[in-house]
């Protein structure tokens, strides 16, 4: 009897500890998600319940050329950012990890500083640096391209330009993750491999990379989720143009909900984006786990 009472006490204690999280999770995430799923089956405006239309919004969505354009732009942006961001962050972390003392702290601060800036400040900085007439980076672009380019008004340059801004802005956090992973690798392994005659390249391939793979998988997964939710940079730098060449799914949600007052249709787009994020992130993480075990 005492064992049963003790077990019940532990269960009640665990439930009491979980209750605040469950309440906040239900209020902030679960209820809005269920509400969006409900609205996606109606013709509701931004305010109100609307009439039930079943799967009409989804059928309309699959025939919407702007939706497929937005999905393609999201995929293109993933290619421009996810792997390059991870590779650049790893290279910076390897460099910073070799430094010591105040110099290491200073260099790390310089790389992390953009991450704490609000997106409005970041986009203003880059809009000024890439300004067609007065931008300080336009001479460099002219050297490579042969002439200056209005980066955020050119269909071929706008997404790579936004990708560069995003990598510069967000990479500080990835550097910290990699640096934490590097510091958890025992130095004895490097000393032992050096005694065996391993070069730095061999140490990286046989020691650093395998032990750092869990952190790499985490960074890749986080980047996939974050870059699929692209909105702020696009809205502030190009507003989805020119000619919808930087129009992404969250821009479509914003336009349908807040400009055209199509709450039901916007909910369908948002729910579909949520499903894409869940499926791709879970699939990628599982593939990376399998790769890490092999």
Q: The CATH number of the domain where 257 resides is what?
A: 1.10.3720.10
Cβ distance 172 to 259 under 8 Å?
Answer: no
Q: Three-state DSSP class for 53?
A: coil
**Which of 103, 117, 121, 132 lies closest to 173 in space, CA to CA?**
117
84 DSSP β-pair partners: none
pLDDT at 294: 59
Distance CA 90, CA 73 (A): 26
181: left (phi over 0), alpha (psi -120 to 50) or beta: alpha
pLDDT at 4: 64
pLDDT at 77: 96
Counting the structural domains of the chain, the total is 1
Residue 189 domain flag:
yes
Residue 5 domain flag:
no
Distance CA 120, CA 21 (A): 32
pLDDT at 33: 86
**Which of 123, 98, 112, 69 lies closest to 246 in space, CA to CA?**
69
Residue 7 domain flag:
no
Both structure tokens of 104: 């290491």
pLDDT at 1: 55
pLDDT at 255: 92
pLDDT at 89: 94
Residue 132 domain flag:
yes
Distance CA 46, CA 58 (A): 18
Residue 125 domain flag:
yes
Regions in the chain scoring below 50 on pLDDT: none
Q: Angle of helix 101-112 relative to helix 65-97, nearest 10 degrees?
A: 170
Residue 274 domain flag:
yes
Residue 142 domain flag:
yes
148: left (phi over 0), alpha (psi -120 to 50) or beta: beta
Tell if the pTM clears 0.85, that is, is over it: yes
Range of the domain at 83: 34-292
Residue 118 domain flag:
yes
pLDDT in tens, 93-116: 999 988 888 888 888 888 889 999
């Amino acid at each position: 009897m005492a064992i049963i009472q003790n077990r019940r006490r532990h269960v009640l204690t665990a439930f009491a500890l979980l209750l605040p999280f469950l309440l906040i999770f239900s209020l902030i995430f679960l209820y809005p998600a269920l509400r969006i799923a409900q609205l996606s089956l109606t013709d509701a405006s931004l305010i109100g319940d609307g009439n039930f239309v079943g799967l009409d919004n989804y059928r309309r969505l699959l025939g919407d050329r702007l939706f497929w354009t937005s999905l393609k732009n999201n995929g293109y942006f993933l290619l421009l950012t996810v792997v390059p961001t991870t590779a650049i962050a790893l290279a910076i972390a390897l460099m910073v990890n070799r430094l010591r003392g105040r110099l290491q702290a200073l260099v790390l601060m310089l790389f992390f500083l953009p991450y704490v800036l609000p997106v409005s400040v970041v986009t203003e900085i880059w809009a000024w640096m890439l300004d067609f007439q007065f931008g300080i980076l336009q001479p460099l672009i002219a050297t490579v391209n042969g002439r200056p380019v209005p980066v955020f008004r050119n269909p071929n340059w706008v997404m790579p330009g936004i990708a560069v801004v995003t990598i510069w802005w967000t990479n500080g956090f990835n550097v910290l993750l990699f640096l934490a992973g590097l510091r958890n690798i025992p130095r004895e392994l490097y000393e032992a491999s050096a005694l065996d005659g391993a070069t730095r390249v061999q140490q990286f391939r046989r020691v650093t990379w395998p032990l750092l793979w869990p952190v790499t998988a985490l960074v890749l997964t986080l980047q996939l989720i974050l870059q699929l939710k692209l909105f702020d940079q696009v809205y502030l730098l190009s507003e989805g143009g020119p000619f919808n060449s930087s129009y992404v799914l969250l821009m479509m949600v914003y336009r349908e909900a807040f400009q055209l007052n199509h709450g039901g249709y916007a909910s369908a787009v948002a729910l579909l984006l949520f499903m894409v994020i869940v499926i791709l992130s879970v699939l990628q993480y599982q593939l990376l786990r399998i790769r890490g075990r092999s």
